[in-house]
């Protein structure tokens, strides 16, 4: 297992990879091994941002102790592990798996505050009980991001899928490289094409996860991700939920055409919600049964590569209230695409 871990987890590359998520999420994201020892910190040079100091002071993690002492602080919640400290901050652990074996490592996310921040006086009272004598206590607490249950699940689901894809893609490249057929008979062009094919497969799986996360986050019942073909300048639906097959096949838009085409061309998001609808797209609204919708460009490596479309026919769903979370997801998508 250690040999596989060393081959699949290049510490320098994974540090840069995880750091991009930290910068986007404003939450600590780092990696520990099976024993709970720190493999890859969220920042170099011992910096502790976004409430990182509480990982030691209130959660009691030392990242160098025995396995039982580290993992005993966590409880299993669905596919993830969760730890809670006396200040009610939460930390989550995502297992990194290779096949059906024990986890290769865990990605740790947090601390975060779920749903609502306490009053400053309440935090000070708890800190005094814990004998935390830090003059910058409230400043450190205010660095910690407040997220909803739905938002943190969406973040964990997306991170989990990206980690799985990166590991599996690296594993497949390793297998291709090691086979006799690959080493002796395959020309480099075919080898590169095979690796590109596997990357495309993982990208498709990632897009499905991204759409499911976005639908869950907004409670919309229908959605799609359109991908831009740079050669033709056309957007076509790559993955969808709740759409008829005929709608998917017919959907083909030029840049600037329709709301999705305009979103891609201008790299601008649009919210369709009654009077809040942007006046520039009023003339493009042709489906009165759709009560609310969000159209958001997706970008990676400084270029728009697609568009996320979500809509609902339910008047009780307010997509615009989840717009900020969708923007975070959009930035996560950019990081995820760059990673595979």
For residue 32, give the DSSP letter. E
> For all residues of the chain together, what is the average pLDDT?
76
Domains, the chain: 2-147 (3.30.450), 166-339 (3.30.450.40)
Which position has the higher pLDDT, 147 or 185? 147
**Residues 300 and 337: beta-carbon distance below 8 Å:** yes
DSSP label at residue 59:
S
pLDDT at 317: 57
CA 25 to chain centre: 9
Mean pLDDT lowest for which of 147-151, 193-197, 281-285, 304-308? 193-197
269: DSSP letter: -
Residue 177 has pLDDT above 70, yes or no: no
82, 105, 157: which is closest to 336 by C-alpha?
Answer: 157
Q: Please, what is the end-to-end C-alpha distance for the chain in angstroms?
A: 23
- On the CB side of 183, CA atoms within 13 Å amount to 6
Distance of CA 42 to the CA centre of its chain: 16
Structure tokens at 46: 């011992």
Give the per-residue pLDDT at 172: 53
Residues 63-90: pLDDT tens digits? 876 666 788 899 998 889 999 999 999 9
Please give the helix or strand (H or E) that residue 226 lies within, else none.
strand 222-229
| CA dist., res. 154 & res. 86, Å (int) | 25
Contact call for residues 73 and 92 (beta carbons, < 8 A): no
Q: How far, in Å, CA of 225 to CA of 237, rounded?
A: 6
* Structure-block tokens of residue 223: 């959605």
């Amino acid at each position: 297992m250690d040999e596989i871990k060393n081959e699949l987890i290049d510490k320098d590359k994974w540090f840069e990879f995880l750091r991009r998520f930290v910068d986007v999420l404003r939450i600590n994201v780092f990696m520990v091994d099976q024993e709970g020892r720190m493999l890859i910190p969220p920042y170099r040079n011992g910096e502790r941002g976004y409430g990182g100091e509480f990982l030691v002071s209130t959660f009691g993690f030392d990242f160098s102790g025995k396995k039982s002492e580290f993992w005993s602080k966590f409880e299993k919640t669905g596919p993830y592990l969760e730890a809670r400290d006396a200040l009610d901050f939460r930390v989550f652990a995502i297992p990194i798996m290779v096949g059906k074996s024990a986890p290769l490592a865990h990605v740790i996310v947090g601390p975060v505050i779920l749903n609502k921040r306490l009053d400053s006086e309440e935090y000070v009272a708890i800190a005094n009980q814990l004998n935390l004598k830090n003059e910058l206590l409230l400043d450190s607490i205010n660095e910690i991001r407040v997220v909803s249950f739905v938002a943190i699940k969406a973040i964990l689901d997306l991170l989990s899928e990206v980690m799985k894809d990166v590991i599996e893609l690296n594993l497949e490249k390793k297998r291709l490289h090691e086979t006799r057929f690959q080493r002796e008979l395959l020309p480099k062009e075919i080898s590169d094409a095979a690796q590109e094919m596997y990357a495309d497969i993982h990208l498709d799986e990632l897009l499905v996860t991204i759409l499911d996360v976005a639908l869950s986050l907004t409670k919309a019942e229908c959605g799609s991700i359109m991908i831009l073909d740079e050669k033709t300048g056309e957007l076509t639906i790559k993955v969808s939920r709740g759409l008829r097959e005929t709608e998917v096949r017919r959907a083909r838009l030029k840049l600037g055409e329709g709301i999705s085409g305009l979103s891609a061309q201008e790299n601008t998001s649009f919210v369709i919600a009654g009077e809040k609808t942007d006046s520039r797209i009023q003339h493009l609204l042709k489906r009165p049964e759709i009560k609310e919708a969000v159209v958001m460009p997706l970008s990676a490596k400084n270029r728009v590569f697609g568009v996320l479309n979500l809509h609902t026919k339910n008047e009780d769903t307010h997509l615009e209230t989840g717009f900020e979370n969708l923007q975070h997801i959009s930035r996560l998508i950019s990081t995820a695409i760059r990673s595979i």
